[in-house]
Amino acid sequence: MAEPNPSVEDFTPLQISIPPLPSYSTKTTHYIYIRRNAPRTPTPNDSRSLFIANVPTDSTEVHFRALFGRLVGAGKFETITFAQDKKQSESAHEPAQAIRLAAHRKRKRADEESQNERDEAAAELPPTWSRQLYRSGSCAVALFADEKSVDLVLKATKKLKKPKDFPVWGEGVGDKVPPLGSEWLKTHNKMTYPGNDIVQATMDIYFSVFNRKEREAGQLAKRLRNEPDEDGFVTVTRGGRAAPARRDEAEEAKQKMLDKQQKKKDEMTDFYRFQMREKRKAEQIETLKKFEEDKRRVQAMKEKRGKFRPET
């Protein structure tokens, strides 16, 4: 368990009591550090979320719901996102890269989009663990109902001074989460072998999604070959491969094409290049004109100030 670090700034230590376990028959105290969420890229929910550091390794959403319910009452806490889960989803395997290839493409029909989402979800292999464990020192972001709920949590945390007031970790959870220990390992052993029929069905959907994304990548590459570059030239190719070598290349090419289309849309009022040059030249002339006017105004103020004589 981590001890409080006085050098940690802007964090409020939230002390929780860990009850004795069969594997560690001693009651102890764990320190969680919380502060208002302030990511580098702001989001609309930052004002009603908390950044949580050093979460317990056996954390679940149910655990934190019970914890914050103990501090400020029920109905304030909404959900929690663990950083480790987010990193795993971003570094997912090849099917996920193929799925993200057409993420920015607008579907023509709603039923087609719904079917693709169902296929993509079914293409994932079934989980092999009934419950996720997190590395020591992991972080998470908890989302609350409103900004006032965040203030209440911070105020309630600062009032926890005596060990008898510390919330008990896991209190109120009951059988809402799968157990750990030997039962957890037995369940893992069963989930590791889901059966040939389940694996076969997953692989069939996997390759259906993969082939669909391959066709989309080929169509994208064909469109890109016919797209003019910034100077208006089209690269003529003969033969060669029909699509980018990797999904990330195709995704990058698609984003580049979308950016180019957006740029064209923004520049429709100045379609011809000479119009853009003339516009920039006019803006420069206007800027110089304003600069000269400001210089004359400052000079006139200086001359007027020099002629001022106080009365004696």
- Relative orientation angle of helices 247-266 and 196-225, to the nearest 10 degrees: 40
- Examine the domain organization and report whether 82 and 153 are in the same domain: yes
Q: How far is CA 64 from CA 3, 56, 87, 172, 222, in A?
A: 20, 10, 20, 10, 50
- Examine the domain organization and report whether 36 and 167 are in the same domain: yes
The answer to whether residue 154 sits within a structural domain is: yes
Q: What is the per-residue pLDDT for 256?
A: 77
Q: Name the residue range of residue 300's domain.
A: 270-307
The answer to whether residue 283 sits within a structural domain is: yes
Q: What is the DSSP string of the chain?
A: -PPP-TT--S-EEEEEEEPPBTTB-S-EEEEEEEEE---SS--TTGGGEEEEES--TT--HHHHHHHHHHHH-TTSEEEEEEHHHHHHHHT--HHHHHHHTTTTSPPS-HHHHHHHHHHHHHTSPPPS-SS----TT-EEEEEESSHHHHHHHHHHHHT--SGGGSPBTTTTTTTSS---THHHHHHHHHHT---HHHHHHHHHHHHHHHHHHHHHHHHHHHHHHTS--TTS------S--SS-SSHHHHHHHHHHHHHHHHHHHHTGGG-SHHHHHHHHHHHHHHHHHHHHHHHHHHHHHHHHHHH-----
- Closest to 145 measured CA to CA, from 269, 240, 50, 70: 50
Q: What is the per-residue pLDDT for 110?
A: 59
- Examine the domain organization and report whether 175 and 207 are in the same domain: no
- Examine the domain organization and report whether 79 and 177 are in the same domain: yes
Residue where one domain finishes, among candidates 166, 187, 208: 187
- Examine the domain organization and report whether 42 and 85 are in the same domain: yes
- Examine the domain organization and report whether 87 and 204 are in the same domain: no
Mean pLDDT by 10 residues, the chain (312 residues): 53 93 87 93 92 94 94 92 76 43 47 72 82 91 94 94 91 90 90 87 87 82 66 55 55 74 67 73 90 88 69 58
Q: What is the per-residue pLDDT for 146?
A: 93
- Examine the domain organization and report whether 91 and 150 are in the same domain: yes
Pairing of strands 49-53, 12-18: unpaired
Residue where one domain finishes, among candidates 160, 187, 214: 187
Q: What is the per-residue pLDDT for 263?
A: 75
Residue where one domain finishes, among candidates 145, 165, 187: 187
pTM: 0.59
Q: What is the per-residue pLDDT for 246?
A: 57
Q: How many domains does the chain have?
A: 3
